Amino acid sequence: MPRKLRCLCTRATQPMEVSFEKLATLRGHNSDITTSLYFHVPNPNGRLTPTLVTGDSTGWLVWWDLAIRRPIGVWRAHDKTIITIKQLGVGLSELGEVAISGDSYGILVTHGKDGEVRLWSLLTKAAGMNEQPSYDFVKLSKTFPPEPDSPAIKDSALSVASRPYYISIPVNTLNFCNVDVAGGLLVTPSTVDSDKFDVYRLPSELNRFNRLVRLADPFQLLQANPKSFNVSIPSNSERGNFGSLMRIIVNESLLFVGFESGHVMGIHIPVLSGNQSANETEMHVVHLSDYHVPNPVISMRCENGNLISGSAGRTIEVVEVAKMTVSPNEAFRFKTSKRGANDLSLRDDGLLAVTGWDGCTRLYRRSGMDAKALEAGCFSKRNPLVTATHHTQNSDNKPAPQNVKARTVALTATRSRKSDVVPVRRRFRAEKTPEYMCIGYEDGTVEVYYPKG
């Protein structure tokens, strides 16, 4: 029997029951899942279909074909924890579908705790004169990572030469802050100061990164900004005015930064929208929130036109990007039942998934009448395969089930977006429209769910 998660959600004033049916458990990683991404690839119907890339705490990547639940490729991308995974060359079409956008399509960007940002070429444009370009998959190993203490970890097959390596750049990884990529530009915490940021232009070929902005200080930008924000602003401290950068998100010409102080700031940077000027005086602050203060911002995404942020406390904030400058105080804010939002994801119909420090993934729906968050359900995983040395045995002398904590969560679009899911290689059997929820766990497994409602 497939496991189901049933929950009662509210859209406007109409209750709606959603049932998540488990499709598969993906096993391959031998350490914590730390990040995940839907990597969109062409299918035989001419559209893009989601595959899944997962990274773990030992630096391994597994690229999954969700239709057949098998790996497309496995390699060690970094020597330490993977913090960021991003796909280049994709965007939303006028119909709201994920589509190819730019010449960088097929490139995966990863960022690790080893202090490196790396670009990997996973798809190459096939030779031909067709109007609709086709892409070939780079041949990759499908051998899963060895155990952390295995001698195979030092085998030559795992050397740099065996990876689809493209180019690398050293960056600051203090506080596990991520990096973000948009429009051919890379934004990172500053190499020498963790409360400032740098902007680089990504290379078109095997050449060096070009740094466009160096040591930009968000607090100085706020002080120089004539616009006033009705929020608390910290005074100088040992950690700086806002503390270290904790999360970075790029959305067109806007850079969103989540700070150690709990503040979330939006900065307009002309160079992000294609303006070649790198003059720091042309940057200006357009958004500032103190809802999470005094708890650090530990998760942040920009999905479906909304900036979503979570803190080490119980606070969640959702702000519509298009209304930030018009209605700066208009936001959807609520508190969860547990502390710590490890990861979060917002579906296009408003369903919000939050993975907390307690290892549970909770779903929330906004009530249209009172703008409150209604908890739509809670999912946790229990692992019965635990040795008795790690816990107290029950009355039957059998190991008691132990919670395996969730680390990441990712939702795809609802069925309202017309695209087909097919296995991405060789087999061309059409399947239902994708509507996945993928949850990564500390034991290295990934559970894939299909919402039915």
pLDDT digits (tens, 9 = 90+) for 310-338: 999 999 999 999 888 777 668 889 999 89
Positive or negative, the CA dihedral 354, 333, 368, 322 is: negative
Q: What is the pLDDT of residue 249?
A: 95
CA pair distance 445, 30, nearest whole angstrom: 8
Question: Given the structure tokens 């190499």, which residue do they identify?
Answer: 191
Question: Given the structure tokens 């773990």, which residue do they identify?
Answer: 56
Q: What is the pLDDT of residue 209?
A: 75
Q: What is the pLDDT of residue 232?
A: 78
pLDDT tens by residue, 273-292: 665 555 555 888 999 999 99
- CATH number belonging to domain 175-335: 2.40.128.630
Residue 389 CB neighbours (<10 A):
6
Q: What is the average per-residue pLDDT within 17-28?
A: 82
Q: What is the average per-residue pLDDT within 424-453?
A: 73
Looking at residue 222, the DSSP 8-state letter turns out to be H
Q: What ranges make up the beta strands (E) of 101-236?
A: 107-112, 116-121, 123-125, 135-137, 165-170, 180-182, 185-189, 197-201, 210-216
97-120 exposure pattern, b = at least 16 Cβ within 10 A, e = fewer = ebbbeeebbbbbbbbbbbbbbbbb
Q: What is the pLDDT of residue 430?
A: 43
Residue 169 CB neighbours (<10 A):
20
Kindly list the distances between the CA atom of residue 295 and the CA atoms of 232, 240, 258, 264, 311, in Å, as whole numbers in the listed order: 14, 15, 11, 11, 6
CA pair distance 362, 314, nearest whole angstrom: 12
In this predicted model, which residue has the larger pLDDT, 399 or 269?
269
Q: What is the pLDDT of residue 418?
A: 43
Quick check: 99 and 90 in contact, CB under 8 A?
Answer: yes
CA pair distance 266, 258, nearest whole angstrom: 9
CA pair distance 42, 65, nearest whole angstrom: 12
Specify the DSSP element, H or E, that contains 26. Answer: strand 14-26
Q: What is the average per-residue pLDDT within 238-249?
A: 83
In this predicted model, which residue has the larger pLDDT, 346 or 240?
346
With 90 as the cut, is the pLDDT of residue 260 above it? yes
Using only the alpha carbons of the chain, give its radius of gyration. 22
Per-residue pLDDT band for 40 (boundaries 50, 70, 90) equals very high
With 50 as the cut, is the pLDDT of residue 97 above it? yes
Q: What is the average per-residue pLDDT within 211-227?
A: 86
Q: State both tokens at 268.
A: 């307009």
CA pair distance 444, 61, nearest whole angstrom: 11
Quick check: 148 and 31 in contact, CB under 8 A?
Answer: yes
Q: What is the average per-residue pLDDT within 240-248?
A: 88
Q: What is the average per-residue pLDDT within 106-132?
A: 84
What percent of the chain shows pLDDT beyond 70?
Answer: 74
Percent composition of the chain: helix, strand, coil (DSSP 3-state, to 5): 5, 45, 45
Per-residue pLDDT band for 58 (boundaries 50, 70, 90) equals very high
Q: Going by C-beta distance under 8 Å and a sequence separation of 6 or more, which residues neighbour residue 139? A: none
| The amino acid at 364 | Y
- Bridge partners (DSSP) of residue 263 are none
pLDDT tens by residue, 197-214: 999 888 766 556 788 888
Mean pLDDT, rounded, of the chain: 79
CA pair distance 215, 196, nearest whole angstrom: 5
CA pair distance 410, 376, nearest whole angstrom: 16
Specify the DSSP element, H or E, that contains 446. Answer: strand 446-452
Per-residue pLDDT band for 248 (boundaries 50, 70, 90) equals very high
Length of the chain: 453
Quick check: 52 and 28 in contact, CB under 8 A?
Answer: no
What percent of the chain shows pLDDT beyond 90?
Answer: 40
Q: Which of 111, 86, 99 lies closest to 41, judged by CA? A: 99
**Could you state, in order of their start, the residue ranges of all structural domains in the chain?**
175-335
With 80 as the cut, is the pLDDT of residue 166 above it? no
Q: What is the pLDDT of residue 432?
A: 47
pLDDT tens by residue, 66-82: 989 999 999 999 999 99
In this predicted model, which residue has the larger pLDDT, 93 or 411?
411
Per-residue pLDDT band for 157 (boundaries 50, 70, 90) equals very low
Q: What is the pLDDT of residue 92?
A: 77
pLDDT tens by residue, 378-427: 777 765 443 322 233 333 444 445 678 999 999 887 654 444 444 554 44
With 60 as the cut, is the pLDDT of residue 151 above it? no
With 80 as the cut, is the pLDDT of residue 182 above it? yes
Quick check: 258 and 300 in contact, CB under 8 A?
Answer: yes
Positive or negative, the CA dihedral 42, 47, 48, 50 is: negative
Specify the DSSP element, H or E, that contains 41. Answer: strand 33-42
Per-residue pLDDT band for 369 (boundaries 50, 70, 90) equals very low
Q: What is the average per-residue pLDDT within 260-275?
A: 85
Q: What is the pLDDT of residue 31?
A: 94
